[in-house]
């Protein structure tokens, strides 16, 4: 497997508060990585560091030359302006914008690609609707569609199951499984059970990355990460932890 992202002794904080400390993490081609941990543990911060939204205090993030600028991002549904007057089609089309083309008009290929992706995520019929008219699951799919139009090699999702119902969670899981055949998936989540049997690795993060060797995700490790008693409802899901990735 080709290594796509290499994170070495990465540290970051806000103000004087250190949020991430000495994180080492390798992400490989076709990995399906869940990043779990308590609120404020640094999960979303790690995602933002990988995406280049914020700069690390120390350490490095190195990308395989084949994937530079090929990172797709699906933000939390609370992070963008939901009241912005924009149709589903135009929102997905903004995924084609990058630093090299933001002064130019959209190309015919951008429009065709957007139509194709909207078909793929079953939202073509909704293309002329306002985002406000979409259900939680449809909104999530439209955000995934926006990231897919830029043809990413790694898709990073932040809490994708936060505001969707159970059937939408199942559909999302199935869709991400399909995507995982073509790209690496990284999901920050509080809900690992929603991705049961789909993911290949879990990274437990609470300031540090907590490895616990190959095997099951057990209560001892989670209690160390979360710093409180943990009951494992989805216990027994087989996975490996990234420190032992080979």
Partner 1 sequence: MLNILSYEFIQNAILAGFLASIVCGLIGPFIVARKMVFISGGLSHTAFGGLGIAYWMGVNPLYGATAFVLFSAAGIGLLENKTEKNDLLIGILWAVGMAIGIVFIHLTPGYAPDLMTFLFGNILTVPRSDIVIMSILVLFVTVSVLIFYKGLVSISFDEEYAKTRKLPVRFLHIGLLLLIGLAIITMIQVVGIILVIALLTIPVAIAEELSINFKRIMIISILLGISICWSGLFVSYYIEFPSGASIILIGSILLCLLKIIKKSIEFFQHTSLIS
Binding site for partner 1 (CB under 8 A): 48, 51-53, 69, 71, 73, 75, 79-81, 83-87, 90-91, 94, 97-99, 102-104, 106, 129-130, 146, 150
CA distances from 3 to 32, 203, 220 (A): 13, 16, 30
- Shortest Cβ 234–partner 1 spacing (Å): 30
DSSP lists the bridge partners of residue 17 as 14
Are the beta carbons of 30 and 1 closer than 8 angstroms? yes
- Nearest approach in angstroms of CB 98 to partner 1 is 5
Q: Please check whether residue 114 is in contact with residue 164, taking contact to mean a CB–CB distance below 8 angstroms.
A: no
Residue 141 CB, shortest distance to partner 1, in Å, is: 16
Judged by beta carbon, residue 126 or residue 239, the one nearer partner 1 is 126
Cβ proximity to partner 1: between 48 and 169 the closer is 48
Q: Do residues 150 and 72 make contact, with C-beta atoms less than 8 angstroms apart?
A: yes
Contact 120, 141 (CB under 8 A): no
Shortest distance in whole angstroms from residue 168 CB to partner 1: 21
Of 106 and 124, the one with the shorter C-beta distance to partner 1 is 106
What the block records as the tokens of 220 is 């001892």
Q: Closer CB to partner 1, residue 71 or residue 117?
A: 71
Q: How far apart are CA 89 and CA 94, in angstroms?
A: 9
Backbone angles phi, psi at 10, to 5 degrees: -80, 130
Q: Cβ 205 to partner 1, closest distance in Å?
A: 20
Could you give the angle at the alpha carbon of 97 between the alpha carbons of 34 and 64, nearest 5°?
Answer: 45
Burial 224-235 (b: 16+ CB within 10 A, else e): ebbeeebebeee
Closest approach, Cβ 196 to partner 1, in A, equals 28
Residue 121 vs 241, nearer CB to partner 1: 121
CB of 197 to partner 1, least distance (A): 29
CA 110 from chain centre, in angstroms, equals 23
Nearer Cβ to partner 1 (62/132):
132
CA angle 32, 113, 88 (to 5 degrees): 85
């Amino acid at each position: 497997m080709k290594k796509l992202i290499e994170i070495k002794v990465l540290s970051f904080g806000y103000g004087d508060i250190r949020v991430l400390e000495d994180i080492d993490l390798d992400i490989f081609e076709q990995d399906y990585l869940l990043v779990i941990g308590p609120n404020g543990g640094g999960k979303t911060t790690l995602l933002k560091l990988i995406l280049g939204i914020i700069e690390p205090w120390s350490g490095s993030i190195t990308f395989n030359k084949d994937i530079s600028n090929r990172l797709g991002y699906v933000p939390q549904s609370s992070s963008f302006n939901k009241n912005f007057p924009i149709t589903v089609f135009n929102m997905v089309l903004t995924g084609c914008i990058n630093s090299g083309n933001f002064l130019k008009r959209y190309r015919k290929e951008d429009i065709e690609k957007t139509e194709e992706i909207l078909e793929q995520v079953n939202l073509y019929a909704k293309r002329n609707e306002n985002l406000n008219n979409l259900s939680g699951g449809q909104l999530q799919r439209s955000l995934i569609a926006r990231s897919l139009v830029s043809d990413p090699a790694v898709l990073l999702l932040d809490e994708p199951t936060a505001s969707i119902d159970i059937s939408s969670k199942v559909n999302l899981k199935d869709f991400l499984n399909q995507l995982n055949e073509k790209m690496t998936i990284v999901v920050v989540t509080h809900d690992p059970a929603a991705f049961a049997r789909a993911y290949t690795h879990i990274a437990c993060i609470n300031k540090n990355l907590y490895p616990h060797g190959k095997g099951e995700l057990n209560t001892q490790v989670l209690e160390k990460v979360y710093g409180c008693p943990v009951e494992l409802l989805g216990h027994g899901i087989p996975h490996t932890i990234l420190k032992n990735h080979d």
